[in-house]
């Protein structure tokens, strides 16, 4: 039963990254590449009918985490309190940047909210990459100092960074050189993903330029992925032990690299949606590879005193998990119908939607 809800939770988070990920990427493209009002309107039109619905997946994932894995919920929301509050404010500024921008037709007003939307999108991509890095690296559960646990085994709290900026420090920070590396991977991969969505959903004058941007960024992404895999050995001596014991898991990195190498042909794709498909494959493969590598851990411990949090020692009682399945089936059907109707209504190019205009 724990495994079922773990798969549900990871599925929701993966869907969130793929769907809201193109919103973040579109915001980054808006910040750096949209120079004309026509380009800006094309980008906001491409994501306008979708962005708020996409964020519901994050809320749903939080609800499943609270229901199915309450110990992990309590541990994470206290330990990662500072970055979670920052992410909350960034989500707010990104949303009001989109909604308030068109309320007043004044140059300064529009510039302020354009920057709010773009910078918040950039920092959200960075922070979510850093968050993944923290899960891979682990945390000091129990706040162990000199071999003595100062708190209960599932408790921890992290400042934004420590003086050493090292992932091997006894008292870790949210940001160190390893988590920052994964943060940059997040920014680059979501920028590519957002560019592919804009190409897919608009006939913008930007599209040809964005194909060149995707190709160049993909070279950097390949270098970053290789660097991340090499440095992973510094964090975890046996990062691929699950893949060696269960060879079928290699399908996930294969999917990731299929998406990554497929993006090098972005200039020759005849159908605009193919690039988005490949970037989605990369995100799906990358996230599932990461999850499979640490399974059954959900939050590794960096000390030898307190054990890592796993899906088995943080789960709720089996009775509650069983009853929740009935409600999950109902919710899943409603969401599936909603998503089908939404993407059916707004299929095709979105240039003429005029989102945010007043």
* Count of beta carbons in the 10 Å neighbourhood of residue 110: 17
- pLDDT of residue 178 exceeding 80, the answer is yes
At residue 358, the pLDDT reads 53
**For 248-260, how does the pLDDT look when each residue is reduced to its tens digit (9 = 90+)?**
999 999 999 999 9
At residue 355, the pLDDT reads 65
At residue 351, the pLDDT reads 67
- pLDDT of residue 137 exceeding 70, the answer is yes
**For 90-112, how does the pLDDT look when each residue is reduced to its tens digit (9 = 90+)?**
999 888 888 887 777 878 888 88
Under 8 Å between Cβ of 342 and 49:
yes
C-alpha span between 271 and 273 (Å, rounded): 6
Q: Burial, 222: exposed, middle or buried (Cβ in 10 Å; 0-12, 13-18, 19+)?
A: middle
- Tell me the H-state helices in 150-248: 177-201, 207-235, 241-245
Q: Which two tokens stand for residue 144?
A: 């162990």
**For 215-239, how does the pLDDT look when each residue is reduced to its tens digit (9 = 90+)?**
999 999 999 999 998 888 888 878 8
C-alpha span between 342 and 157 (Å, rounded): 40
**For 44-57, how does the pLDDT look when each residue is reduced to its tens digit (9 = 90+)?**
888 888 888 888 88
At residue 118, the pLDDT reads 92
At residue 279, the pLDDT reads 94
- pLDDT of residue 352 exceeding 80, the answer is no
Which residue is associated with the tokens 């870790």?
172
Q: What is the mean pLDDT of residues 331-357?
A: 80
Q: Is 356 left (phi over 0), alpha (psi -120 to 50) or beta?
A: left
Q: Mean of the per-residue pLDDT values for the chain?
A: 88
At residue 278, the pLDDT reads 95
Farthest-apart Cα atoms in the chain, separation: 63
153 confidence band (pLDDT: 50, 70, 90): confident
- pLDDT of residue 328 exceeding 80, the answer is yes
Which residues, listed in sequence order, are joined to residue 309 by a DSSP beta bridge?
A: 299
At residue 261, the pLDDT reads 94
At residue 292, the pLDDT reads 92
Q: What letter does residue 163 receive in the DSSP assignment?
A: T
Q: List the one residue out of 243, 335, 241, 255 whose CA is nearest residue 287.
A: 255
Ranges assigned E (strand) in the chain: 144-145, 148-149, 297-299, 309-310
- pLDDT of residue 306 exceeding 60, the answer is yes
At residue 159, the pLDDT reads 87
At residue 150, the pLDDT reads 76
Q: What is the mean pLDDT of residues 287-300?
A: 91
Higher pLDDT, 143 or 197: 197
Q: What is the mean pLDDT of residues 186-212?
A: 90
């Amino acid at each position: 039963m724990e495994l079922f809800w773990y798969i549900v939770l990871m599925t929701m988070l993966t869907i969130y990254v793929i769907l809201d990920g193109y919103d973040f990427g579109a915001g980054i493209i808006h910040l750096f590449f949209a120079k004309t009002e026509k380009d800006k309107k094309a980008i906001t039109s491409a994501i306008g009918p979708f962005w708020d619905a996409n964020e519901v997946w994050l809320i749903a994932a939080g609800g499943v985490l609270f229901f199915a894995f309450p110990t992990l919920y309590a541990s994470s929301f206290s330990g990662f309190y500072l970055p979670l509050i920052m992410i909350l404010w960034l989500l707010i500024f990104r949303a009001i940047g989109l909604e308030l921008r068109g309320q007043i037709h004044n140059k300064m007003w529009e510039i302020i909210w354009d920057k709010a939307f773009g910078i918040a999108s950039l920092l959200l991509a960075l922070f979510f990459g850093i968050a993944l890095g923290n899960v891979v690296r682990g945390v000091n559960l129990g706040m162990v100092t000199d071999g003595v646990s100062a708190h209960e085994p599932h408790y921890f709290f992290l400042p934004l960074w420590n003086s050493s900026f090292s992932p091997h420090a006894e008292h870790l920070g949210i940001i160190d050189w390893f988590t920052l590396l994964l943060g940059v991977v997040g920014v680059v991969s979501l920028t590519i993903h957002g560019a592919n969505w804009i190409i897919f959903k608009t006939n913008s004058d930007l599209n040809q330029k964005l194909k060149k941007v995707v190709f160049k960024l993909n070279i950097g992404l390949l270098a970053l992925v290789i660097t991340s895999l090499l440095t992973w050995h510094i964090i975890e001596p046996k990062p691929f032990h699950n893949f060696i014991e269960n060879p079928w898991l290699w399908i996930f990195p294969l999917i990731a690299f299929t998406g990554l190498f497929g993006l090098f042909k972005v200039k020759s794709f005849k159908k605009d949606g193919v690039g988005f498909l490949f970037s989605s494959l990369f995100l799906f493969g990358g996230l599932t590879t990461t999850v499979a590598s640490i399974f059954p851990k959900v939050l590794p411990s960096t000390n030898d005193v307190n054990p890592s949090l796993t899906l088995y020692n943080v789960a709720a009682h089996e009775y509650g998990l069983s009853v929740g399945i009935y409600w999950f089936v109902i919710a899943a059907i409603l969401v599936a119908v909603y998503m089908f109707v939404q993407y059916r209504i707004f299929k095709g190019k979105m240039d003429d939607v005029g989102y945010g205009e007043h």
